Amino acid sequence: MSAIVKAAHEGAWFKLWGVKVAAVISNKPQASGLKWLQEHAEFSNIKTQVLDHTLFESREAFDQSLMAQIDVHDPELVVLAGFMRILTPAFVAHYQGRLINIHPSLLPAFAGLNTHQRAIDAGAKFAGATVHQVSVEVDQGQILAQAVVPVLEGDTAETLAARVLTQEHLILPSAVAGFFKSQAVPHPTR
């Protein structure tokens, strides 16, 4: 999330495409992204909200409430940055074509959880991260971008995760920018 906010600011996305990060909504009150925004007053224009999923009686009820909160901002794109919940088919359908996620593996390999340890256990020579469109099937949507890192001898899940995270911070903002570049209306030449 912080990488996207910084890239939008430094890349002048609003000036280029009229794009801004409007809101950050977290299902966890202690999310590091919320804390980061509190510590960076220059981004105080970004609205924040916590919608604690543990307070809802069902996944469907949470997703309906989350959709209502997101829709207040009328987003062109919804980015799942560190959001670790499986979304209902109704939620995915509501944002079809404008809902992206980042996953810490080279999809289609190692979809789901514990990706780094699974890559090490499988003897993978390479790991990485994937930005993809969200589909009803977990981690199966169209791949938009990938970054590759080597799995080094002696790697632990933690050391591999740290190297992958540096690449996530590069490819997710790049994929978001790519989405808006592809949506931009070309200026007629004179």
Supply the pLDDT for residue 190: 36
* Domain-embedded: residue 188: no
92 φ, ψ (degrees, to nearest 5): -60, -45
Q: How many domains does the chain have?
A: 1
Instruction: Produce one character per residue of 34-46: b if its CB has 16 or more CB atoms within 10 Å, e if not.
Output: beebeeeeebeeb
| Catalytic residue of the set 9, 53, 73, 103 | 103
Up-side HSE of residue 79: CA atoms within 13 Å toward CB? 24
Q: What would the DSSP string read from start to end of 62-116?
A: HHHHHHHHHHTT--S-EEESS---PPPHHHHHHTTTSEEEEESS-TTTT-SS-HH
* Domain-embedded: residue 89: yes
* Domain-embedded: residue 152: yes
CATH number at residue 155: 3.40.50.170
* Domain-embedded: residue 190: no
9 annotated active-site: no
The pTM of this model reads 0.91
Q: Is the pLDDT of residue 187 over 50?
A: no
pLDDT in tens, 82-98: 888 999 999 999 999 99
What 3-state class would DSSP assign to 142?
coil
pLDDT in tens, 98-119: 999 999 999 999 999 999 999 9
* Domain-embedded: residue 179: yes
Tokens in use for 136?
């009803």
User: Beta strands 126-133 and 143-150: pairing type?
Assistant: antiparallel
* Domain-embedded: residue 78: yes
* Domain-embedded: residue 136: yes
Enclosing domain of residue 84:
2-183
